[in-house]
Amino acid sequence: MSSEKKKVLITGGTGFVGSYLFDYLSKNKNYDVFVSSRRNIEKAIRLDLLDIYEIRKTFMEYEFDKIFHLTSQSSVHLSFKNPFSTLYDNINTTLNLLKIIYESKLNTKVVLASTSEVYKTSEKELTEDSSFEPRNPYAISKIIVDYFSKNISKDFKMNVTLLRLFNHSGPGQIDNFVLSSFSRQLAEIKLGLREPVIKVGNLDVYRDFIDVRDVVRAYEMVSNEISYGEVYNVCSGYSYKIRELLDKLIEISGLEVKVEIDKSRVRKSDIPKFVGSYHKINNDFGWSPEIKIERTLEDMYLWWLENLRN
C-alpha cells in the first residue's frame, strides 16, 4: 500500500449506493478504498457502529482521511414498521462515528448522507434553506442527525459535509423503491414469471429522481473541500409524474400490461409534489446531473431481466 494514497472508508459500502461509490472511488489511483459492514463479508472491515470501542480501535488503526457515512435504515416503508430501531440505529451510528473522530483528534473529512424527506412539502423548488417537516420515522432520524452534525461541526471545527439526497435510483436497487419495483415486475412479466398485471401505489404524485451514478460524483466532489457543516441538495431539479415514468418503463419493456392499485403500496402521508434545487452544489462545485431518466429506467429494467434469468 502506498503511503501517499488517501485512505477512504465507506460505511454501508456493501449496499446499493455504497457499492456504486466504491466502484467510482476505486478508479481514482489516489485512494485506497475500504468498506465496512456489521456482517462478516469478504473484503469488508467488520465494524458495528453501535459499538464505540470497536469504532475507536478501527479508526485508530486505519486513520482514514475520508469517511463517507452511508450506513442507514433508509426505507420509509420499513421505518413505519420499525420506528424505534430506525431512530436508534440511524442516530447512534452517526453520533458514535463523530464522537470517536473528535475524541481521537483525527483530521478526517466526513460526508454524511441525509435526505430530502426532512423538507416541508412545497409547490416551489426546495433549497437547503427551505422549511422542515419530517413525516416519517426515517426522516425524523435524519433531521436529528442533520441538526446535530451541522452544529457540532461548526462548534468543534469538524470537517463535515451533509448531502440531502432526493429520490435516487439505478440498476441494482432493491424493489422496496418505486422505480425498481416497477422494473422488477415488468421483467418478471417479460420472463413469464407472473401474470401481465403490475401492482402500483399512487401514480399521480410528482417526485424528483436522480441516477445513483450522478449521486456518487457528488459525494466525491464535496469530499475535497474543508467544510464545517455545509449542506447540499443532490437532485435533478425536475419533478416527474410517477404515472409517466411507469408509462416509459412499459414502453421500454414492449409489453401490454394491466395496471392495478395496491392499497398497501399507498403511503398514508403522500404529498402531491416534491422537487429540489441543486443550485448551491452547482455553484460551489460545478456539479449537475448528467444521466437522463430514460437511461436510468432502461438500465434498471435490463438489470432485473438479467438477474431474474440467472
Alpha-carbon gap, residue 154 to 229, rounded angstroms? 6
What percent of the chain has pLDDT above 70?
A: 96
Task: Decide the pairing of beta strands 197-200 and 206-207.
Answer: unpaired
All domains in the chain, ordered by first residue: 6-169+209-235+276-290 (3.40.50.720), 178-205+239-272+296-309 (3.90.25.10)
pLDDT at 18 over 70: yes
37 falls in which pLDDT band (50, 70, 90)?
confident
Distance between alpha carbon 246 and the CA centroid of its chain, in Å? 22
On the 0-12 / 13-18 / 19+ scale of CB atoms within 10 A, 82 is middle
Alpha-carbon gap, residue 235 to 127, rounded angstroms? 10
pLDDT at 78 over 70: yes
Alpha-carbon gap, residue 180 to 173, rounded angstroms? 6
How many Cβ atoms sit within 10 Å of the Cβ of residue 287?
19
- Find all residues with CB under 8 Å of 202, minimum gap 6, and list them: 242, 265, 266, 267, 270
What pLDDT does 1 receive? Answer: 44
**Which tens digit of pLDDT belongs to each residue from 177-189?**
899 999 999 999 9
pLDDT at 269 over 60: no
C-alpha cell recorded at residue 286? 460545478
The three-class DSSP label of residue 286 is coil
Q: What share of the chain is helix, strand, coil (3-state, %, to 5)?
A: 45, 20, 35
